[in-house]
Amino acid sequence: MKLEQVIDVESGQMDSWWGSYHSAFGPLEAMSSCRQSFSREEFVAVMVNPKAEKFVALTDDGGLIGLAIVVPPSELTWISPGFYAERFPGRDVRYYGAIHVDPAHQGGRHFFDFCKWLAKMESERGSVVAYDVAAFNEVVTKVVVAAFEAAEAVFEHQVVSTQEYHVIDVKA
pLDDT classification of 168: cutoffs 50, 70, 90: confident
Return the C-alpha torsion angle 127, 128, 129, 131, nearest 10. -150
- Residue in 103, 131, 136 with CA at minimum distance from that of residue 33: 136
Give the model's pLDDT for residue 163.
81
- Chain segment 26-46, per-residue pLDDT in tens: 999 898 888 889 999 999 999
Question: Per-residue pLDDT for 61 more than 80?
Answer: yes
Dihedral of alpha carbons 70, 92, 130, 142, sign = positive
pLDDT of residue 127: 92
**What is the per-residue pLDDT for 164?**
81
How far is CA 18 from each of CA 92, 126, 141, rounded to the nearest angstrom? 28, 30, 24
Q: How confident is the model at residue 64 (pLDDT cuts 50, 70, 90)?
A: very high
Residue 8 has a pLDDT of 80
What's residue 23's pLDDT? Answer: 95
Contact of 128 with 84, CB cutoff 8 Å: yes
Q: CB burial class (10 A; 0-12, 13-18, 19+) of residue 64?
A: buried
Comparing 123 with 165, the larger pLDDT belongs to 123
Show the beta-strand stretches assigned E in the chain: 2-6, 53-58, 64-71, 93-101, 128-131
Of 133, 122, 127, nearest to 160 (Cα)?
Answer: 133
Q: Is the pLDDT of residue 145 over 80?
A: yes
Domains of the chain in sequence order: 2-150 (3.40.630.30)
Per-residue pLDDT of 8-31, as tens digits, reads 887 678 899 999 999 999 999 898
Of 6, 2, 80, 67, the C-alpha closest to 37 is 67
On average, the pLDDT of the chain sits at 91
Q: Edge-to-edge, what's the strand order for the sheet holding 2-6?
A: 2-6, 53-58, 64-71, 93-101, 128-131
What is the per-residue pLDDT across 74-132, written as a single tens digit (0 to 9) for each? 888 888 999 999 999 999 999 998 999 999 999 889 999 999 999 999 999 999 999 99
